[in-house]
Chain A
Amino acid sequence: MAFSEDQQQFADVAERFFGDKSTPTEVRRLMASDVGYDAEVWRQLAHEVGLTGTHLPEAYGGFGFGAVELGITCQAMGRHLYCGPFFASSVMAAHAVLNNGSEAQREALLPGIAAGTSIAALVLDDLSDPARVGMSIQADANGRLSGAAQLVADAHVADLLIVAARAADAVALFMVDAAQPGVKVTAQNCLDPTRRMARVQLDDVSAERLGNGPADLSLLWDQMCTALAHEMVGGAERLFETTVEYMKMRVQFGRVIGSFQALKHRCADLLLELELARAATHEAARYLATGAGDAFAPNLAKALASDAYISIAKQAIQLRGGIGFTWEEDTHLWYKRAKASEVFLGTSNWHREEMIRRMEVAHGG
């Protein structure tokens, strides 16, 4: 569907911001840094542009927009490989609080996240399948948590942890002050240094359960995957554009390589993949915003966006030839994000399996 005029303006603002603040030079500087993000840019994106709370309700300090606007932000971030805890805090943790928190808990936690003054991380002990979450972290009878998660996005810079843990009745979500003794966070050496993962060890730490019910991991997964798909589509778009531009400049055998039919046709195939991924991804945001459409929309978005991003990333290197494999050239920055996103929150195979499972549910099977 076409963006409204306001949405288009918002997209332009986001694109300008990240195009300006997240240049390849800056991304390389942050990749090499300890924390992996720039605190001043974070302050600007939270305070001056207000992106951290775009999609959160006004009652909790947000702007009250929804999944479509969040998608616009993520797509722009993905285009420019923004390095920072936005996805961990504003997408993963914020949705967990919004879905499961009591009114008082939302009021206590969300305004800080929306303002960017609090950085939250969502501790999931499995990133491949929501049904496997809660195997490694347990809540005891007093609600104290113990266990570990190996791959927690941006936990190394978080002051608040939202932890999925197995309680007596169900897998539930808990809020944990990251500063307390018993919480040990160790930064990991990441294949994609533009999104940091950390190991979180909890030894009998005090926690407060979010709400009374089980963690709504299914909804949370849909929300996270839809946002992630937007990031991936943004990255794939940008990488495809720079590859096509390169092919119009690079001359071999007396002609630009973009004049060879084998390469032209390969690019046409990639454009098709990208167009389909983009359409499915925007549909997933619309589905979350309105509730109308196929229940598998977020799965389709993640599967197609992931496949398209990887196809384009591989070809972006191949079509550049030797230079594409060098550290100096920027292509590997996107390739690494594509690879990391491919296995983050479920592979394409997992999402396709989930599509069929959901169709069976709808079918009454």
Chain B
Amino acid sequence: MTGGTQRGTGSPRTAAVVLAGFPLQLAMHDHPRWAGSIVALADGDGPLAPLVCLNERARRAGLRVGMPAGTARELFPAAQLDVLDPDALVRSHDALTEALGLFSPRIAPEAERSGAWLLDPEGLEKIYGGYDVWAKAVWSYLRGRRLEATVIVGFHRDRALALARAGRPGARVLDSAGAERALAAEVPLRALALSSLGAGAGAGSGAGSDPGARASTGGKGGARSGAGLCAKVVDALAMLGVHTLGDLLALPPGELSARFGPEVAAFYLRFSEGPQLPIQPQAFAEPVEACFPIDPPDAEVTRLLFAIKGALHPLLRQLHARGEHLRVLHVGLTLASDSRELSTVLLHLRDAASDPSGDVKGAAPRVRVGRPFSGQGDAGRHAARGAEAALAQRRSPVNAADAADAVAEAEVEVEAAIVRLRVEPAEATLDARTLVDLLYLQLERTTLDGPVAEVWLGAEGERRRLSQETMPLAAEPPAARAEARAGGRARELPRRDLRAASETLARVRAAYGLRSVTRAVLRDAHLPEAGFEWEPVVDVTAAVATRAVCAQPSQVGAEVSRALGPSQTMPIMRRVFPRPLPLAGSAGAPPRLPPSYGTGGREGDVRRLYGPYRISGGWWRRTVRRDYYYAETERGVLVWLYYDRPRRRWFLQGELD
């Protein structure tokens, strides 16, 4: 492979971008301190969850993909084990897809969560000054975000992808289709095995596997539509002396299909000399957004809302023309403190980004024109300096990579400095009044460090849905209510409107934050604080109330419940503190409760203690051993506490109320 500039080869170009060990790279990106440690990702939380991604150090230490996380923890207590989050993986993949769209308008993710993309660089070499500069710009852009990528500009989509998977991080341009064919023939099949996809086959980052790729494979097949062979097929071929792609392509296709199945034959055909499918680029929706200045800058909420309302109507009309309703309204507020300084920088950057003369070559992605490019306080000023430096470097074609890094850093700082609001109505709407009302609530709880100089609005729409019918929850009284009526204690039952409830919850979210309206979801865990999670909720659902029996009743409780019936019994509720309260006392002495449990301002004394009940959990991540007790104070208050053995200390978990 060479890195020269190629012109006039005639054949259309295709580029492949691969982030080897994509989930692992994201984990390392989130935890920079893990560098140099044994790092592994497990497919779930628990001691039996299999490891799915390993770094090179973990591989050298003897860890293997598929090994239980608990075993890995026992072998290497200092190893950094984390749980793979598929949702975060998808979000990151989508964000990178959007970011790579800065380099080519035609981009196709190879598969969901795979960390591999196909880009069409045709024509862009004239802007960047060559395919090698373009490829290096892509690589630099990703490197600026601490991601190690392999960028191959070739001629055949699957061969380029295979070379990117097997290659080391960097940017390379292939001279000719023949050279590409020859290089692809040397790619080991093991690098294309499904268990190695995205991992660079250990050549680059040394990571183990790509669960995204694995998850996206279906059935028992030996290959999938992208590029990859089942590990069993690779082993079987290796026993026949077929180790590389060239070895495989030398086999007769018909015989291959008969012996290994049609999917392996399809894999064979993708690399053969037949016509290849063009890239199916992902469609990018034109953003619906508006940006306008506030002149003179103003901090008065009512006037700001009035200005925003005026700009909202054109946005809503655009959405209406698309047949959509507004689902989310993003608001960016640029404060006046840095606006003068930043506006100059913004002007230069916009000019540079739109300059077709070619004096800005190679280095940087396009600056998002129309977005607020300013910040507040020191962060904004720092971002301005970074952007200016980036601009200066961009005009010098000497150090394109550094310029791209500087631009990326400046972008990150600017993004962090913008005051952003997110307005989410209960359901998609075109009603400006509703949106302004919700925005008003958000502005109430937002502290602005200065007057607003510029406002940016961005709208996310969704296809119009049939309006929800009002659901009269209490139209048909349930049995219990019918009984109450019969008992003469019934009240006049109003109809409950679920839509009104959803609208109210949207107001609460706007006023107190997106995670302020939740529902509880129970988790299967030993520790009390891990036994549930709060999940954001948008709509109110009708209750399906059943009289459940206590999940873990005491022996007496179970008998009482059976004898009296569930309607006359009730488990005692516990109230837990958000963080267990440390108490005075040692293992040989009882704990001393806070003064609120005592009398006369003294610490509370424990009179009786029920327990202990030992709970151990999370040992595959960190050692937890607790002895739980119920304690009764002199005042008759029942509290729930535990003795933490590793820490040798008492903690108050909660109280019974």
A binds B: no
Using a CB–CB cutoff of 8 Å, the interface residues on chain B facing chain A are none
Using a CB–CB cutoff of 8 Å, the interface residues on chain A facing chain B are none
